[in-house]
Structure 1
Amino acid sequence: MNCLWLSFLFFQMSQAWTMFYPRTSSFLSKTAVKSSSSVEAELFVDENEMVPIAENYVRAKYKSMAQSHGKLACTNEGAGQILRSLLPPVTPAELNTEVSKTLATIMANPKNSDDTIEEDDFVKAIVNNSYWKAAGSLVVKELIYFDALHTYYRAGTPLLNNSDYETLRDNLTGEGSVVVNMKAKETIFVMAVASSRRGDPVMDDLQYTTLKRELKAQGSWVTARSQDTLEKLGLNTFMGYLHRAL
């Protein structure tokens, strides 16, 4: 009986420890890549399971955009619109530069035209874009998680299948990311701020003010521009990008 109780107590303590401290053995080296770095690190080092999830996510964005225009393939214009939603919340000028750079890479393939962008070329260009690499794996995983939830909450459209969603959520939980504990309205608010920062607002001023007031009344930390645990450790996070942009 005592052995069973000790085992249970140890499990509870280990779970609590994970909530407050991320897996630091390789985590610090993988995610502490500042956006100002001139060296682009590779994404998802020692996280091979994240590569197909990121690719599946980008493919879902591609297909959704094509279908919204009644087409089987994305146009150059549609690809640019997707890019704007896939990059961290940077200034419009920075965003335009990266979009132009990435689209130029895609259009360098003679198979692509203004009317048709090859899906595989698009996915490869997105997963390898310089802003994702500069931001680091944690920011990209949080961005994917945020966007997937936001799209589902707003449009009812899943960008991740159940398996990919659970794997991503478990990964972020293990990293100590706060995004997995956010409520639906908090996620919508964060993405509204990020979209506005990119110059592509998803709600009008009245909707934004109403939502912000509601979250403030509930004591939500996302309206206070407070640093999350990982930001305080000096790591790049999606919320950190957002705070620096405000």
Structure 2
Amino acid sequence: MNYFLYSSIELANQRDYLDQLFRVYPMSPDNIRTIDSTLWERFESAFGEDNQTQIIESLLDFDLFPIKDSYIAYLRRDRSAIHRNPATIARICGRLKDMGINKIYENLSTPKETNRQIGPLFKRWVNSGVLGLEPINIEEFKHTQSNAILKASDSVMQSFAKEYLGYTNDKGLDFIARFNGKFIIGEAKFLSDFGGHQNAQLNDALTLLNTPLRDDIIKVAILDGVCYIKNKSKMFHTLHQYSQNNILSALLLRDFLYQI
């Protein structure tokens, strides 16, 4: 088994893994969403006048809609449907009126689900310099031969990897670095539970490991969460199938980079 995969499993099962991992993925489920005052005033005015069309149009400008309704996604994608379907609009507005304006505000400011917060956290942690180098922008990264970590969006990393590294996948990347003349590219996933969506997240990371690239390009799946629990889960079984690949916890990423 790959040394860093073995070490990640041992770390997760024998030490204060979750306490340490909180530095990488500091979940904040209690942070309410900020409500744009201009958008709220527009809605409040429409609500007070019982202008049903404007009530729906104004609420669609918020990240959340204050009620669960299967027709909302359609209205988001085709706002002209608001004017063509008065019975649907009246039905939704009736529910909103029953709810009352205070509850509507409360629902609009509901905290983001923790799994929706995870995406940017890994890069924020890397960009803090915790890996021993201050990450640099794309132009600096292109023109240095020194050890370096790229600071860029997923899509910019993907474009760089396609142009310079022969990367062909249609997904962005979470990590690109150069150490001792070798490129390291990686996907980072926090797997919070077993099952459908989380298995798909694991497969996304493993797809990178199966991507054929030059010998001087090191592929790594930076995984954390329940995948390391020693049990009979599909995730743990999958890790053993990939036991010779570079799979490791973000907590071991610095050690991995400096041993290259």
- What's the TM-score once normalised by structure 1's chain length? 0.22
Structure that is richer in strand per residue: 2
Q: If you compute each CA radius of gyration, which structure gives the higher value, 1 or 2?
A: 2
- The structure with higher relative contact order (CA 8 Å, sep 6+) is 1
Structure that is richer in helix per residue: 1
- What's the TM-score once normalised by structure 2's chain length? 0.22
